[in-house]
Structure 1
Amino acid sequence: MAHTSMVQRVVGGLSPAGAHASRNALLELAKGLVLDHFDDREPTFTPALAQAAKDLADAGLTDAALSPAAVAAHLHVSVRTLQRAFASLDESFSSYIRRRRLEEAAAALTAPGSPLSVSEAAARWHFTDSSHFIRAFKKHYRTTPAHYAHARRPA
């Protein structure tokens, strides 16, 4: 009942995916009460939770406070539950955040008329420093951010 009350209090502030995940969690709790067990690996629960986490991450890629712990707290689940929701996917939630930040940085670096420098991109998407950003970018795209931007920017 505590979970039901909490969902009722926060449902207005949840994204559609978050509300859907909360609904599925409530259904699982009710089923657990009836069957006398709870299965957090229910096929309908984990995809909804993973999608809600992705939606929150995508909305906050430039937020320095974005982390698995912050997203788990926002979704009212444990970090471990969030990790289990991503276990069946090809990447962890932390890797998802890093990949999406790199994708957004790449898009910004190649945008027409973009005056964004590599160090500004590193700062905007919260990489520790430019060299850390360059290493991560090169690992993902197999080229440096500067070369990537130069090769893809319109003339």
Structure 2
Amino acid sequence: MTVHTVPAVSHLSTQSIDPADRVDYWEEYNRKALVGLTCSPYSEQGLLATQTNVPLGGLRLADIAGNEHVIERTPGTCRALPKDSVFATLLVTGQAVFFHGAGCLTLRAGDLVLYDTRRSYLFGFPCTMRQLLVDIPGEVFTERCAAGGVFAPMVFGRDSAAEGVLVSSLRSVLTDWAAGGGAGDPVSTEATVLDLVRSLAAPRLGERVAPLARPSQLAVAKDYADRQLSDPRLCAEHVAEAVGVSTRHLSRIFAPSGVSPSRYILEQRLVKAREQLADPQALHLTIADIAHRWGFASQAHFTRVFRDRFEQTPGEARPAPVRTRPPHRS
């Protein structure tokens, strides 16, 4: 069988493929783009799945979604189609079970599982799912994440609040990269991804954990702030505490972005509020409701800073209500 080179950014959907050919098509694509595996769908519709592969520096990011199915990398497949990588797979939606040589792991949305592609595994999805998968070459992982590699699969995201912050930050970085189709700075984004993976994996593997690099600290700080925008108490001090640094050091972390932590929080609140004001589905909400939703202490303060930022009032940012015509009378 001829294996063709996969382009830098590639996409596949089984929707337009004859149902009888979907599994073969999916397996062949994965052999070329990601890893050799076998697939078994469990829906009467057959396999309905999409996959987009995007380069990320020396890594590769796969955005995969589908209905109920199981994928398996058997010992025979590992020998026939060898691949030396560590996969960091973040389950964005759905549930999953992960069988491996030493047992079974259960995953829920928001969990990250780390595993070695040289060892066999079975990944089962009992419902509609989406995952973001980072393909980290084995030599890159041992050099920049954990020298000892991954002996057994590990799940992250539940053990501690600090771990949850790191997983959430990784999700934010990967989601942005996938949404942009790989547009951005691949060198710094790759470094941030590897730094976050190292900070998660090294403690579990008994290795020394170096402090997060400044770009990774910025990613963690922004992600934490973005998730807390509705809390009116959110401030630079709270963000610094979440990242584990002083407020002064937090300012240094934000310096390359050109804004202070406080300005970043305000800017994100204003952007989110403007999006909601412009949404026709939100016309039932008052301006005060939206101001409160995005953490503003008062409508007056919200109106003032909104006008300063966008040169219009919150009311002017709203779409005109749709007027229904009265029935025609003959």
TM-score (normalizing by structure 1): 0.72
CA apart distance, 1:85: 0.3
Looking at structure 2, the residues matched to 100 and 79 of structure 1 have their Cα atoms a distance apart, in angstroms, of 19
The answer (yes or no) to whether the contact 1:67–1:94 under 8 Å persists in 2 is: yes
Q: 1:69 aligns to what?
A: 237
Matching of residues 124-143 of structure 1 within 5 Å: 124-143=293-312
The RMSD of aligned alpha carbons is 2.8
Checking the alignment, whether the CA contact within 8 Å between 1:21 and 1:49 is kept in structure 2 is: no
Corresponding position: 1:120 with 2:325 = no
**Pair 1:101 & 2:269 matched:** yes
Which structure exhibits the higher relative contact order, with contacts defined as CA atoms closer than 8 Å and separated by 6 or more residues? 1
Partner of 1:4: none
Q: Distance in 2 between matches of 1:45 and 1:140?
A: 32
Larger radius of gyration: 2
Matches within 5 A, 1:4-153: 11-16=162-167, 17=169, 20=196, 23=199, 26-27=209-210, 45-114=213-282, 115-150=284-319
Q: Is contact 2:277–2:318 with CA below 8 Å preserved after alignment?
A: yes
Q: Distance in 2 between matches of 1:93 and 1:11?
A: 20
**TM-score of the superposed pair, with normalisation by structure 2:** 0.36
How many Å apart are 1:104 and its aligned residue?
0.8
Partner of 1:34: none
Q: Distance in 2 between matches of 1:63 and 1:131?
A: 18
Runs of 4+ aligned residues of structure 1 deviating over 4 Å after TM superposition are 8-11
Cα distance 1:127–1:22, how it changes in 2: closer, same or farther (>3 A)? farther
Deviation at 1:12, TM superposition (A): 2.8
Structure 1 residues 60 and 142: CA distance shift in structure 2, 3 A: same
Q: 1:113 to 1:70 in 2, by over 3 A?
A: same
Aligned pair count?
A: 131
Distance 1:110 1:22, change over 3 A: same
> Structure 1 residues 112-121 or 51-60, which shifts more?
112-121
Conservation of the 8 A alpha-carbon contact between 2:165 and 2:224: no
CA contact (8 A) 1:119 1:130 kept: yes
Pick closer, same or farther for the CA change 1:59–1:154 going to 2, 3 Å.
farther
**CA separation of 1:154 and 1:92: change in aligned 2, threshold 3 A:** farther
* Alpha-carbon shift at residue 11 of structure 1 (Å): 4.4
8 Å Cα contact 2:230-2:292 kept in structure 1: no
Aligned mates of 1:45, 1:133 — CA distance in 2: 35
Q: Give SS of 2:296's match.
A: coil
Bigger helix share: 1
Change (3 A) 1:9 1:72: same
The structure-2 alpha-carbon separation of the partners of 1:131 and 1:77, relative to structure 1 and needing over 3 Å to count, comes to: same
**How much has 1:128 moved relative to structure 2?**
2.7
